[in-house]
Amino acid sequence: MDAQMKYPPELRQRAVAAYRAADPKPVIRQMARDLGVHHEALRTWIRQDEADHGDRDDRLTTSEKEGQARLRKENSELRRSCEIL
């Protein structure tokens, strides 16, 4: 598990699925307490899932983030190559 990932991906997926399936929507702070996770972690997972499903446009989707990271890495490699030349 990455240093950033305090919670396993399965827990994240189950938590977000439970939130999406709930009607009415639960209070995130209470749901997080019930799941044993930090409320801001749960809120972030839900927001990211909403962005990935097109429900919000104020965040990058996961694939956009991955593409951006790939481009940054490529840019960094190209800059190193240019410095060598």
Confidence check: pLDDT of 81 > 90: yes
The average pLDDT across 66-82 equals 96
Contact 31, 24 (CB under 8 A): no
Cis geometry, peptide bond prior to residue 9 (ω within 30 degrees of 0): no
Higher pLDDT, 23 or 1: 23
Contact 48, 62 (CB under 8 A): yes
pLDDT of residue 1: 46
Q: Which band of pLDDT confidence, cut at 50, 70 and 90, is reported for residue 85?
A: confident
Q: Domains, the chain, ranges and CATH?
A: 9-84 (1.10.10)
pLDDT (tens digit per residue) in 7-58: 999 999 999 999 999 999 999 999 999 999 999 999 999 999 999 999 998 9
